[in-house]
Structure formats: structure tokens, C-alpha cells
Copies of this chain bind each other. A is one copy, B any other.
């Protein structure tokens, strides 16, 4: 059994880095705060005797050799956060991995296969799109050069920021050899809590579509310009936001849609905006419905631009099909959780995760624990200690199982 208090202490300690005055943390990918976090976790890895390596995308791996060589059983997640994030999103999976290692160290146990605890760069994607960039590059799903050239919401380039925080490793990317991957993560949604269940055995991740839209119109005077003569880029952005809600409601089912970022220019009370940029995040477990949502959005935008006399530029920031996890791996999570006496349900993931990228190269699944009030990407994000501990014990059990 893992040591719950030790896990909590590491979560608390990592939560100090980038801590926000009102609670929660800000460790945007490749920021100074992220660098502090990377350093602390690497320090812990070394203290636990893990062989630490870093790849060219800044992904970090702590290897615990097995009795036999060969591809490791891997776990891990990420330590970057959104701008106003909580203490558990990502970090739980990484620190529970370390807790598994420390538990085995204390028991003097060596597994047959090697074990590996990883943290992947820029999982959140909110500074640099796409999300899961580190694990995507790791599995060969995106060229390293393309990732390095990506510009963030602050205009900075991934390559420059990685350099600045010392995240440019030696190890090659693109052809990993992993026996199996399992990731522990908070659910970030309300399903487990509403069902009163402790463990989620994650069957699949829903499809993700991120689009950045830039509208260009003509700035003009808010008082003197008749409505018929306006080419109002801001109005186009807001009409798109209203449409996203209408579209998502009409499609129904699992469909969700969010306009999370929006900026107007020149952004003044009495000037009709000449430029507006916004992001649209659409998700569905059903890829056909997701594609339909994207198509309808595109049609709406084109008609809107035509009607309003403005230009529109559409840039895809991320597009991932729904990812099914390996059924045997899902079964394994379910049976390990049951064997430990925890209530468990099979469920999809609403969020994107590094596990969905690892699923391209090895049998993969995830372990979810409940989020209080279903809140995440919020400084109030919280999971009960008992649930954190339960999740870490299921992770230990699944890894032991896989490493035989």
C-alpha cells in the first residue's frame, strides 16, 4: 500500500511552485514556474534512485530497472497547469507514480519489467496549442520541428521558452518502446461524484476540436457609423459565441462547446472593433457528431462573414479523434480497483490526456478519481485525500500486475 500522507505532502510541495495569492497554481507550460516544478520533480526522481532522462521535447522519464531488460511499464501525466489551475490536474498522476516507486523501494521489491514514471511537456495546451503536445511528439504524432516552432498566446515560441527553462533534452522522440501505459488523473467532471463511485476505469477519451477564428472588419466611430455601414469584427465574434451555444444545445447528447478566449482590437468603448480573435473548443465522444458540429460552425462563419462584410481566417489549433483504450487494460483497472474493495465504473474522459497519445503505441488505460463539485481548471479544484490514496493504490496494483 502507498503512503497517503507522503503523496499529499508532495502534492502540497509542488503546489507551492507558481502558487496564486487566492489559492491554486499558475504553471503555464515552459514558464519560469513550470521550470521550478520540473526541477523539483526531477530532484525527487533522483532521490528515489530513478535513472532520469529528458527528450528533445522536454518530456522527462524516471526509469526503475526490472529484473529483465525490455520496454517498461510506464505511468505519468503532466505538471504544467492552466493560468488559474488546481493542485491535482496532472500532478496527481506524476506524484502517485513516484509514490508507487517509493513504496516498492521500501518493500525492497524489484519487478520483472522496468517501471517508468514520466511527465510530459505542455499537456494543457492553453499557452501553446495543441494540448498533449509533449506526449504527441513523444509518440511521433507531431514533428519535433513543428512543435518547436509553435507560437503561444503571448507570441513566444516553444523552442525559445524551452531553451530558457532548460527543457531541451538529448533523447530522440518519435519511436518509443513502451510495454503498457496507465495514467491516474482526477476526473475533472461531475460523473463519479454524482454516481457516488470512487474509481473510474476510463474506456475512451472524447474527440477534441480547437479552432482559432480571426475576424477582420473596419474600425469606426461607435456614434457616427450607421448600423448598415458597420463591418464590426467584434459583433462577428460575439455572434459566433452565441451560435456555439445554440449549436451545442441543438446537437445535444455529449456535445460540449466553449469560447474560452476572445480579444478585440482596439478594444475601446467607442470604437467599432476592426479585429477579433476567439477560440472555439468543441468535443464529443461521437466523431460523426463532432464533425457535424465543426461543419455547421464553418457554414455559420462563412455566412456571417459574407453578411457582415468582414474577412475570416480559421486556424485549427487541435483536432483529435475520440480515442478508445485497450479493452484488456480497462478490464485490468476495473478488476484491480474491485480487488482493492473500491467501487468502480467504466466511463469516458471529457478532458484530453497524455494517455490518449500513448494509446497510439502501447496498450493504455486510465484511472479516474472524483473531483468535488466536478470542478477543474479552477483554483477550487479538489479531490478528497481518501480518493487520492485509493487512486494511487489502484495505480500500484495495475503497475505490479503489468510488470509481471
Measuring CB to CB, which residues of chain A are less than 8 angstroms from any residue of chain B? Answer: 82-84, 124-126, 129, 131, 153, 187-190, 206, 208, 210, 218-227, 229, 232, 234-235, 237-242, 245, 248-249, 256-274, 279, 281, 283, 317, 349-352, 374-378
- A350 with B223: in contact, given A83-B266, A272-B258 (CB under 8 Å)? yes
Q: Tell me whether A187 and B268 are in contact in the complex, defined as CB-CB below 8 angstroms, given that A218-B375, A234-B260, A241-B238 are known contacts.
A: no
Q: Determine how close the nearest CB of chain B comes to the CB of A78; give it in whole angstroms.
A: 13
Q: Which residue of the partner chain B has the closest CB to A265?
A: B84
Q: Are A271 and B82 in contact (CB under 8 A)?
A: yes
Write 19 A-B pairs (CB below 8 A) sorted by A numbering: A83-B271, A84-B266, A124-B270, A208-B223, A219-B378, A220-B374, A220-B375, A221-B376, A223-B281, A224-B349, A224-B350, A234-B262, A238-B239, A239-B241, A239-B245, A260-B267, A260-B268, A262-B264, A271-B377
A251 to B263, CA, bound (A): 28
| A250 vs chain B, min Cβ distance (A) | 11
Asked whether, in the complex, the Cβ of A221 is within 8 Å of the Cβ of B377, the reply is: yes
CA distance A276 to B239 in the complex (A): 16
Rounded to whole angstroms, the CA-CA distance of A256 and B232 in the bound complex is: 13
Structural contact, B374 and A225, CB atoms closer than 8 A: yes
Knowing that A83-B267, A84-B271, A237-B241 touch, tell me 7 more A-B residue pairs with CB under 8 angstroms: A126-B271, A210-B269, A220-B374, A224-B350, A239-B241, A262-B262, A269-B281
| Chain B residues near A374 (CB-CB < 8 A) | 220, 224-225, 229
A281 to B269, CA, bound (A): 7
Query: Given A226-B190, A281-B222, A375-B220, do A260 and B270 touch, yes or no (CB 8 Å)?
Result: yes
B272 touches A260 (CB 8 A): yes
Minimum Cβ distance to chain B for residue A127 (Å): 8
Closest to A351 in B: B223
Cα distance A317–B270 when bound, in Å? 12
Bound-state CA distance A187–B225 (Å) is: 10
The reply to whether A220 and B377 form a contact with Cβ atoms under 8 Å apart is: yes
Q: Which residues of B contact A259 (CB under 8 A)?
A: 234-235, 238
Smallest beta-carbon distance A178→chain B, Å = 25
Provide the residues of chain B in CB contact with A268, threshold 8 Å.
82-83, 126, 153, 260-261, 377
9 pairs of A and B residues whose beta carbons are closest in the complex: A238-B241, A189-B224, A224-B350, A222-B258, A126-B268, A242-B242, A83-B266, A269-B279, A188-B224
**A124 and B218 alpha carbons, distance in the complex (Å):** 19
In the complex the two chains form, what is the Cα distance from A241 to B269 in whole Å? 13
In the assembled complex, the CB of A27 is this many whole angstroms from the nearest CB of chain B, namely: 13
